[in-house]
Chain A
Amino acid sequence: MMSPVERTDAQVVRDVLSGDRDAYRFLVRRYGSVLQGHALRMTDNPDDAADLVQRAFVKGFKKLASCRDPDRVGPWLFRILANFCKDHVRSPRRSDVSVTMLSGALRGGSDPSSDAEGAEIRTRVWGALDALTPEQKEAFVLKHVEGRTYEEIAAVMDMSVAALKMRVHRAREALKGLLEEYA
């Protein structure tokens, strides 16, 4: 019997679709941390992030037969999670985070290494992201925080590089606008 590490994604997908549902755990192990990391950066809340990742994996299992390219089931799962994250960001919450908290952090000058100031900056900059649309926030996080290339993001999100660039540009403009407004 093939060990988990020897099974390709396509083999795991085929096994699961053939009735070996336990094989699905290999995908959870393989992609759990990548998905968790992105969900954390989108939600800034470990519990919410883990909940979204769990829901994404369960939905992925239910819809596995519609994954057109089993070799790329990882990006396919990522896309499911990304949509959950955007819905979560879109839902009304954390209204106590005001965009006016932006100014100090965006001007720079504070030392993030200091615990207190670091925590304050963290609240400011991540609160700032909530002023963006979910799509802009996602594009900004993937491009500038996770440091992915346009080609990589476009492939994962199944959109053209041109459309993605436009979204990232708008996210930058929005953050820049906030910076100027509250500086």
Chain B
Amino acid sequence: MTNEIHRHLDGELPAEALAEEDRETVDEWDRMVASFRQSAPHGSAPTWLEQRVMAEVELLPERGVLNRLFAWLVSPAPVRVSPLAAALVAAGVVFVLMLPGPGTAVPEPGASTSSAVEVVYVQFLLNAPAASSVAVAGDFTEWQPSFTLEDLDGDGVWSGRVPVRPGVHGYMFLVDETEWTTDPNAGRYQDDGFGNQNAVLAVGTSS
């Protein structure tokens, strides 16, 4: 198939712009797609689905207190604040910020006083052919899966460059937004305190 055919099938190119040979291919393709659509299986959920799912759900152990606390913490909830209370809190914050500090931090001998933070870009790789998404999270992201890896060529290897500050960091991959996965190719691992192993990444400075 030519690139023009793909663009036409993607709705980006009108049929009139195609060469005669490509139009024949498109006609053939349309017949094939029609066959798929005509014969596609359809059906609604079986009547027993809800009953079986709920029966299985009922058998699951109660969520732990920590899990429920976590869920409560991460679930958005409306907060009502009166304008007066908001103004008082804001004034208090400004007052505290204007107080002189207990002392000025003195840089240690040899430490850089520059405010610029050195960042090293680290290439992360995970072979996950069945995955639909892979993100990386670690203490350098405060364990938020904010960096998404990509599999542009569809070969199942997900990769991406992530800025990391020098130091030793624990990290994990989050596959399909649900499965925390330890990097099988990490050089070092550490216990995360919850029965899993975090991969460990050591990033040195460039100097």
Count chain A CB atoms within 10 A of each CB in B39, B71, B75, B150 and give the residue with the most.
B39
Q: B45's contact among A36, A160, A172, by CB below 8 Å, is which?
A: A36
In the complex with contacts A18-B68, A121-B35, A125-B35, A58-B132 CB distance below 8 A: no
The smallest C-beta distance from A104 to any residue of chain B, in angstroms, reads 10
Q: Is B6 close to A, CB under 8 A?
A: yes
Q: A25's contact among B54, B68, B70, B131, by CB below 8 Å, is which?
A: B54
Q: A157 — nearest CB in chain B belongs to which residue?
A: B132
Q: Is B74 close to A, CB under 8 A?
A: yes
B52 near A24 with CB under 8 A, answer no
Q: Is B152 close to A, CB under 8 A?
A: yes
For chain A, the count of residues having a C-beta within 8 Å of the partner chain is: 77
A86 near B67 with CB under 8 A, answer no
Q: B54's contact among A28, A87, A168, by CB below 8 Å, is which?
A: A28
**Which residues on the B side are within 8 Å of A134 (C-beta)?**
130
The interface size bin for chain B is: 35 or more
Q: In the bound complex, how far is the Cα of B38 from the Cα of A118, in angstroms? A: 9
In the complex with contacts A17-B75, A58-B57, A63-B178, A29-B50 CB distance below 8 A: yes
B116-143 near A? 1/0 per residue, CB < 8 Å: 0000000000000111110000000000
Q: Is A3 close to B, CB under 8 A?
A: no
Q: Is B43 close to A, CB under 8 A?
A: yes
Q: In the bound complex, how far is the Cα of B176 from the Cα of A168, in angstroms? A: 20
Q: In the bound complex, how far is the Cα of B13 from the Cα of A7, in angstroms? A: 43
Q: A66's contact among B9, B36, B177, by CB below 8 Å, is which?
A: B177
Residues of chain A whose beta carbon lies under 8 Å from any beta carbon of chain B: 10, 13-14, 17-19, 21-22, 24-25, 28-29, 32-33, 35-37, 40-41, 44, 46, 49-50, 53-54, 57-59, 61-63, 65-68, 70, 76, 79-80, 82-83, 86-87, 90, 105-106, 108, 112, 118, 121-122, 125-126, 134-136, 144-145, 147, 150, 157-160, 162-163, 165-170, 172-173, 175-176, 179
Residues of chain B whose beta carbon lies under 8 Å from any beta carbon of chain A: 1, 6, 9-10, 25, 28-29, 31-33, 35-46, 49-50, 52-54, 56-58, 60, 62-63, 67-68, 70-72, 74-77, 129-133, 148, 150-154, 156, 176-178
